[in-house]
Amino acid sequence: MSEGLRTVNGNPAAPPYTGDAYKWDANVTFAQGVNGVIKGTKGKCYYVDEENGADGNDGLTPQTAFASILAATALSRDDYSADAEYHIFIAPGSYDESDDLRLYGYGIHLHGLGNPGSDSGVNITDTNVTQGILLLAGANCTIENIQFTSATALPPLYAIASDNTVITNCVFKGTSGTSVNAIQGEDVRGTEISYCTFGVSNGDYTNNLYMTGGADQYCIDSYFHHNRISSNNTSATGILIDNTCVAYGNVFDNNFINLTGTTPKGIDINSTGVNLITNNYVVITSAATPIESASSPTGIVGNHTMAGSTTVDPNEAAD
């Protein structure tokens, strides 16, 4: 038996889940399947099982699960009440949805069961999407234990607006030379992205964590830690923040970045706001730049960086 919610350090949280962005109005345990009890005044637990479910079911029990994730997100979206907590439990399987999945609302929690991937866990593909596999425009949400597999240039996870949200233990598998951004963020605040894997066995992205720029685009007070990022694309970046993105108060910590293309950059912070880049291990091609920051001060502290076989200062390319 284990609790479904994790704290910042990745360990299971214990009831009653009070406090900050990790508050749940639910007590959810995994025991002989999944049992969910909602304590709030609104919201539901929905169950999805592509092998044994049917979209004509009510989705309220594992025995009456939906077949598609889309059926569950359609019933939980567009509810911005602070009392709403929707938990969607997805059984292992490969899901090829008929449209983009939309997490629009407050307190929508998407839980993949098993280890993320096509063999032993949840795998979602992008055959029929128009903007991205998962469109996030919500607050106090959770996305965990899911593999996103993309064969197009569309982002598997598009954070249109993400406040106080946790994205953890997910896998992003693209198509080398085709897939562009694994996670693309526009308005991100108080969000944690942790313990995720970007790029697996010939499934690479050009930009793995990318915060876009433009009018009213921001990435503030967020925490990116313990992610594994790899790519062999020519000019890949592990973490990229656009120069016109308002970005400050973010922490980039304990990420492992391994890029083997011709002109990659491990971490590239082009915004001038103050951010902290610490304890990352970055391995890139000889003569490339492992970490670069326009922040003032740069916030680069205690990283270990290698360009080829040469240990280099994070702000400099190898000779």
Residue ranges per domain, the chain? 26-311
Higher-confidence residue of 165 and 317: namely 165
Question: Residue 1 has what pLDDT?
Answer: 32
Sign for the pseudo-dihedral over CA of 229, 216, 188, 184: negative
Could you read off the pLDDT of 194-228 as tens digits, one per residue? 999 999 866 789 999 999 988 889 999 999 999 99
Percent of the chain with pLDDT over 90: 68
CATH number belonging to the domain at 26-311, selected among 2.40.50, 2.160.20, 1.10.540, 1.25.40: 2.160.20
> Beta-carbon neighbour count of residue 83 at 10 Å?
12
pTM above 0.85, yes or no: yes
214 CB burial (10 A radius; 0-12, 13-18, 19+): exposed
Question: Residue 42 has what pLDDT?
Answer: 72
Res. 244: pLDDT tops 60: yes
Question: Residue 308 has what pLDDT?
Answer: 85
- CA distances to 21, 24, 45, 108, 128 from 35, in Å: 23, 15, 9, 17, 31
Cβ 28 vs Cβ 36: under 8 Å: yes
Could you read off the pLDDT of 250-270 as tens digits, one per residue? 999 999 999 998 899 999 999
Task: Give dist(CA 122, CA 113) in Å, integer.
Answer: 7
Alpha carbons within 13 angstroms on the beta-carbon side of residue 311 total 3
